[in-house]
Amino acid sequence: MNPDTNAVAREPQRVLIFDTTLRDGEQSPGATMSHAEKLEIAELLDAMGVDIIEAGFPIASEGDFRAVKEIAERSRRATICGLARAHPTDIDRAWEAVRHATSPRIHTFIGTSPLHRAIPNLTQDEMADRIHQTVTHARNLCDNVQWSPMDATRTEWDYLRRVVEIAIRAGATTINIPDTVGYTAPVESAELIRRLIAEVEGAEDVIFATHCHDDLGMATANSLAAVEGGARQIECTINGLGERAGNTALEEVVMALKVRGDIMPFHTEIDTTRIMNISRRVATVSGFPVQFNKAIVGKNAFAHESGIHQDGMLKNAETFEIMRPADVGLKETSLVMGKHSGRAALRSKLKELGHDVGDNQLQDIFVRFKSLADRKKEVYDEDIDALVRAQGAAEDALELTFLRVICGTEAPQSADLTMRVDGEDRQITAQGDGPVDATFAAIKGLVDHSARLQLYQVHAVTEGTDAQATVTVRLEESGRIVTGQSSDTDTVVASAKAYIAALNRLLVKRRLVPEGSDTPEINYRDVV
Ligand code: KIV
Ligand code: ZN
């Protein structure tokens, strides 16, 4: 018995958490992460107690393969899973990537609904044979095999039951039931799992999993209903990252099970105090910010601004709070330090916020902290977090050294900008439609590139007119996608630095990665 099946056999109320941020999340257009970022997120997922990490789709590209392999080689506690279509070559590639994990898993799938069967143009019998062959092949390589009938919730019941039985007979240890297009409703979700467990031959030998998409906003409810129906693995992503409306959000299902244990007597092994930190990291590296009123991890999720709420909160926090901010790792917004705080105080604050930085990085953050403290009256934890997230490294080829923007009611606006390019200062003046447009035009005038701006986003880090703005810029050039982020009390300066951070990454990528590398040669929907 593999360790995942074992865990549930030992404790029937235990729900395994299968995180697919690095596969289903990362494959959503624009959410591409760098190799180092994928390793970092995998490490955070492992540390927070995720049971299974779906680290990628190894056949999709050389980059995906390398990432899954390295995550597997570094794995500690979690099972590491690689996705494969119903092809022996896909499965071999996935096995090659995960085989050195402490606990490896192969996840193979095929679309079983009438619409999906039509794509490879297979009859029901031909597809059934393919399932038997590919699951057998996977199981000959690995004793932990997950099989998914993609679009299960729109597959005819008789055919679904038949192919699930075939997969179990061929050796699958987990059967995942995806609601690929976010179509199902909670009553159906519970009933489908209940019926599979009751009627499928061999059901008692496998774990049933639920994998929901959020197109109708029901992914969390559907996942929890599936657990009621007997599923013991929830597939989810941090912040609900995923294409279209996203996947089930890990933080939502985990906290729902924790807070409502009275009516849902199930538990996970997730250390919920790590939720906020990983949520912020995923938002940063994916370039997909979290909406302010998002459950659990939104900026406003624990804010009680209305007068009545505040009054109640002061008397008794439980009046309006069903969980404590500390349960998800959120510290009270606190005044950190002022301009007289030293390096040691900063190091201890960083540690408290979960950032383990080396001496060089500390020195860099300290310089930027001092400059911020000179400009901003009060420096909060969120400001310190933003300083850490802001990119910029000694080896960067491009660095902003001066920026003055002239703006007002009369267009055009103009930007006078100096940038260090490979150690040499270059100056330019450019005009544009607004201060940011003028600044970006100036940068483009100094660094020749054909990158397309895919995303430009501004967020205030804290309240007040002296708040820092965090700007995210995503660029795409010949299939290479890069994200840059920076924070400053001046939104235009933050914008310039974020753009330059993205360009620095692009320059590195041009050297290291072939054109088109971020556009996988194969997408998991190309089921042929
Ligand atoms: O949504 C889906 O069907 C998937 C499968 C590959 C499991 O992500
Ligand atoms: Zn999916």
Question: Ligand 1 centroid to 109 CA: how many Å?
Answer: 8
Q: Could you identify the residue written with the tokens 């383990």?
A: 356
Strand partners, 398: 421
For residue 313, the model assigns a pLDDT of 59
- Ligand closest to 148 (CA) is 1
Residue whose CA is at the smallest distance from ligand 1 atom 5: 150
The residue ranges of DSSP E strands in 195-275, in sequence order, are 207-212, 233-236
Q: What does the pLDDT read at residue 342?
A: 84
How far apart are the C-alpha atoms of 404 and 416, rounded to whole Å?
A: 5
Q: Among the bound ligands, name the one nearest to the CA of residue 177.
A: 1
Q: Which positions of the chain have pLDDT values less than 50?
A: 527-528
**Angstrom distance (rounded) from CA 94 to CA 19:** 17
Taking the C-alpha atoms of residue 50 and residue 33, their distance in angstroms, rounded to an integer, is 20
Which helix or strand (DSSP H or E) is residue 231 part of?
Answer: none
List the residue whose alpha carbon is closest to atom 2 of ligand 1.
Answer: 180
- B/e letters for 172-199, b = 16+ CB within 10 Å, e = fewer, are bbbbbbbbbbbbbebebbbbbbbbbbee
Between CA 210 and CA 219, with CA 216 as vertex, the angle to 5 degrees is 25
Question: Which residue, judged by its Cα, is nearest atom 1 of ligand 1?
Answer: 180
Considering only CA atoms, which residue is closest to atom 8 of ligand 1? 24
* Helix or strand holding residue 402 (H, E): strand 398-406
Q: Cα 247 vs. chain centroid, distance in angstroms?
A: 10
Please write the tens of the pLDDT for every residue from 330-344: 876 555 577 778 888
Q: Kindly report the number of other CB atoms within 10 A of residue 117's CB atom.
A: 20
Q: Which residues surround ligand 2, an ion (CB under 5 A)?
A: 24
State whether the beta carbon of 524 lies less than 6 angstroms from ligand 1: yes
Ligand closest to Cα of 524 equals: 1
- Confidence (pLDDT) at 528: 42
pLDDT at 74: 97
- Residue 103 CB coordination number (10 Å): 20
The pLDDT tens digits of the residues spanning 371-401 come to 888 887 778 777 888 888 775 555 688 999 9
Q: How far is the CA of 353 from the centre of ligand 1 (A)?
A: 35
By most ligand atoms within 8 Å of CB, the mutation choice from 180, 223, 234 for ligand 1 is 180
Q: Could you write out the DSSP letters of every residue in 88-151?
A: HHHHHHHHHHHTTSSSEEEEEEEE-SHHHHTTTT--HHHHHHHHHHHHHHHHHH-S-EEEEEET
| Residue 37 Cβ < 6 Å to ligand 1 | no
Q: How far is CA 471 from CA 34, 314, 486, 500, in A?
A: 19, 35, 6, 11
> According to the model, what pLDDT value does residue 431 have?
95
